[in-house]
Amino acid sequence: MPQAAHVSRALSPQAHSLVEQESRQGVEQAFALFDQVSSQLSQSYSLLEARVSELKGELAVVSAQRIEELNEKERLANRLQHLLDLLPGGVIVIDGQGSVREANPAACELLGEPLIGQLWREVIARSFAPRL
């Protein structure tokens, strides 16, 4: 730093003025560039906020549609379950492992309980075995 002061004193007043002017221009250019980048960043942020708001709106619409679809499916499932419960014939649902997963009241009355969770072949053996 002492060398810089020594060089500064060694310059003529005109040269010193020229150095100050160039330094001032460099600072002004740096501030101008900073303002430009700051403005671009601000614009980009505003565009991003607008896009996020737009996407939130789209998401709300899609979510409302999905909820309505789920409600409709739930109403349909309840209606079908009610119909199965009222059927006079027995209805049984068996999974891939041969276990009873669902049975309507008529099936329970015809085949006896327990049914749910039982192997179908065991239900057959129990319910259809020859009897005196």
At 15-55, the pLDDT tens digits run 778 788 888 888 999 999 999 999 999 999 999 999 999 99
Residue 38's pLDDT is 94
pLDDT confidence band for 9 (50 / 70 / 90): low
Residue 59 amino acid letter? L
In this prediction the pTM is 0.52
Residue 117's pLDDT is 95
pLDDT confidence band for 74 (50 / 70 / 90): very high
- pLDDT exceeds cutoff 70 at 63: yes
